[in-house]
């Protein structure tokens, strides 16, 4: 990754089991403000996909394009949690600034989740 690039990484901890959540598909999308519809919606564009490794981490998402002001991670939690998952996916939308790194951990249980900006 080049110096000054805006980057994103994540990891998932299954707090109900006390271990990393391996094999969860993750999609990164980018946006640059609202989509012009007047409702504040962002025009999302897919930018990269990956899956969590044995340690629950995703480290190989591509750097964000210049001009990106918003990013979104979508975690496909349904297959990991099994049939009837209350949260079949978790979408996290966040603001970004050029040149910074964003680590966005997901703490997951079958009936709840929490996210935060990590380091």
Among candidate residues 47, 42, 9, the one with its CA nearest the CA of residue 28? 47
pLDDT given at position 61: 98
Domains of the chain, first to last: 7-115 (2.60.40.180)
pLDDT by residue, tens only, the chain of 119 residues: 555 799 999 999 999 999 999 999 999 999 975 555 545 567 899 999 999 999 999 999 999 999 999 999 999 999 999 988 999 999 999 999 999 999 999 999 999 999 999 99
Cut 0.75: pTM above it: yes
DSSP state of 24: -
- pLDDT score, position 32: 75
């Amino acid at each position: 990754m080049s110096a000054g690039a805006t980057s994103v990484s994540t990891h998932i901890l299954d707090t109900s089991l006390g271990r990393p959540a391996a094999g969860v598909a993750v999609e990164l999308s980018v946006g640059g403000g609202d989509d012009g519809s007047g409702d504040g919606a962002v025009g999302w564009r897919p930018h990269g996909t990956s899956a969590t490794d044995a340690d629950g981490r995703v480290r190989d998402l591509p750097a964000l394009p210049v001009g990106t002001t918003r990013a979104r991670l979508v975690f496909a939690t349904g297959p990991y949690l099994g049939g009837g998952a209350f949260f079949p996916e978790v979408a996290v939308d966040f603001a970004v600034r050029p040149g910074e790194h964003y680590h966005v951990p997901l703490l997951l249980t079958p009936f709840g989740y929490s996210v935060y900006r990590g380091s």
